[in-house]
Amino acid sequence: MQTAHTLDVLRTRVSSLRKGGETIGLVPTMGALHEGHLTLVRRAREACDHVVASIFVNPTQFGPNEDLDAYPRQLEEDAQMLEREGCALLWAPRVAEMYPDGFVTSISVSGVSEGLCGADRPGHFDGVATVVCKLFNQVAPDMAFFGEKDWQQLAVIRAMARDLDLTLPHVHQIIGVPTVREADGLAMSSRNRYLSEENRAAAATLPREMREAIARIEDGQEIAPTLAALEDALLGAGFSKVDYAVLADASSLKPLEKLEGKAARLLVAARIGGTRLIDNMGVG
Ligand code: AMP
């Protein structure tokens, strides 16, 4: 596996990977890799001739009081994991390469980015959309792979790619990959390593109570009291705050008061011991 830290090197390596018309799958990440990320790489390997993974802790998607400085960075270990998975190229730009002095552009996606995490993290999805647009233009992959773990992020990226005509020629297909979970159901996340042993054990309440709430909703119970009971169960299990627990239309992310036979999603963000965890699951 080769590593590129500059755009010049990236472009040279990407064009040599494409030489015989071979296809490229892009897996964007912020590093601190786990099985969730590696599953995206495996999916990309199955679907494309070569995989390019990016590792970039994107400062513009972190708010002023968020964990940008504390975010885990372990480039060498990550590179070894990617190499073992058969990744062809690691794109690991420095901040000044992505955002040189004088950088003034931001992409803002309205609608799907406004509620849920967008309400709690102002500017977050502008940062995500801008960096992902740059990655699409830089690598011009045939397919790009994202986790359903970040359901709203996936919706924002799909909307951005559609509206800015990025799908052709810059990225032909955006693929969502189901969430990879720990044995007790907790969605894998680079942020799980912030959890103390006690909080890590309590964190498994999140997927468990979400499944319970989904079973009740599918059973015909009313949505508002079911979501209120979910919040109470999380607070009772040691979560300090529930930022949101919402049943939403799976595509528009608009809150639903009834199932209405549409594809629906239960999305939750909750804090435990200073760590904000998010999860989402299909309903109906
Ligand atoms: P991150 O490094 O957290 O920005 O994540 C990089 C990519 O990996 C995003 O597309 C995430 O949605 C995806 N991802 C993170 N955690 C998981 C998981 N547990 N299962 C599947 N994909 C994931």
pLDDT digits 0-9 by tens, 103-136: 999 999 999 999 999 999 999 999 999 999 999 9
- Catalytic residue IDs: 37
Judged against a pLDDT cut of 80, whether residue 150 lies above it is answered with yes
Q: What is the pLDDT of residues 185-204, one digit of tens each?
A: 999 999 999 999 999 999 99
Q: Which domains does the chain have, with CATH numbers?
A: 2-177 (3.40.50.620), 190-283 (3.30.1300.10)
Which tokens in the block code for residue 236? Answer: 């009772």
pLDDT band for position 21 (cuts 50, 70, 90): very high
CA angle 117/120/123 to nearest 5° reads 80
Distance CA 132, CA 54 (A): 10
| DSSP-based three-state secondary structure for 259 | coil
Residue 31 has a pLDDT of 98
| Cβ 124 under 6 angstroms from ligand 1 | no
Map tokens 């594809």 to a residue: 263
Q: What is the pLDDT of residue 273?
A: 96
Ligand 1 binding pocket mutation candidate from 37, 54, 78, 146 (most atoms within 8 A of CB): 37
For position 168, what pLDDT does the model report? 73
* Two tokens, residue 114: 């406004």
If you take atom 14 of ligand 1, which residue's CA is the nearest one? 147
Statement: residue 84 has pLDDT above 90: yes
In this structure, the residue with its CA closest to atom 18 of ligand 1 is: 36
Is it the case that residue 170 has pLDDT exceeding 80? Answer: no
CB atoms within 10 A of CB 26: 29
Closest CA to 140 of 30, 52, 45, 8: 52
pLDDT at site 194? 95
User: For the residues 269-284, what does the mean pLDDT come to?
Assistant: 97
The runs of H, that is alpha helices, within the chain are 7-17, 35-47, 75-84, 95-98, 116-120, 124-139, 151-163, 197-203, 205-218, 223-236
Q: Which amino acid is at 22?
A: E
156 within ligand 1 shell (Cβ under 6 A): no
Reported as type and span, the H/E element at residue 19 is none
From its phi and psi, is residue 102 left (phi > 0), alpha (psi between -120 and 50) or beta?
Answer: left
For the chain, the first-to-last Cα distance in angstroms comes to 43
For the cut 70, the answer to whether the pLDDT of residue 169 exceeds it is: no
Which residues, other chains included, contact 123 with Cβ-Cβ below 8 Å and sequence gap of 6+?
60, 61, 63
The pLDDT of residue 167 is 82
Q: How far is the CA of 222 from the centre of ligand 1 (A)?
A: 32
Q: How far is the CA of 189 from the centre of ligand 1 (A)?
A: 7
279 in contact with ligand 1, CB cutoff 6 A: no
**Residue 148: CA atoms inside 13 Å, Cβ hemisphere, count?**
15
**Entry pTM:** 0.97
Q: Which of 54, 59, 95 is nearest to 75 (CA)?
A: 54
Residue with tokens 């679907």: 47
Q: Which atom of ligand 1 is nearest to the CA of 180?
A: 20
- By DSSP bridging, strand 264-272 and strand 275-283 are antiparallel
Answer whether residue 40 shows pLDDT above 70.
yes
Angle between helices 223-236 and 205-218 (to 10 degrees): 160
Q: Which amino acid is at 4?
A: A
Pairing of strands 241-249, 264-272: antiparallel
Q: How far apart are CA 258 and CA 221, in angstroms?
A: 10
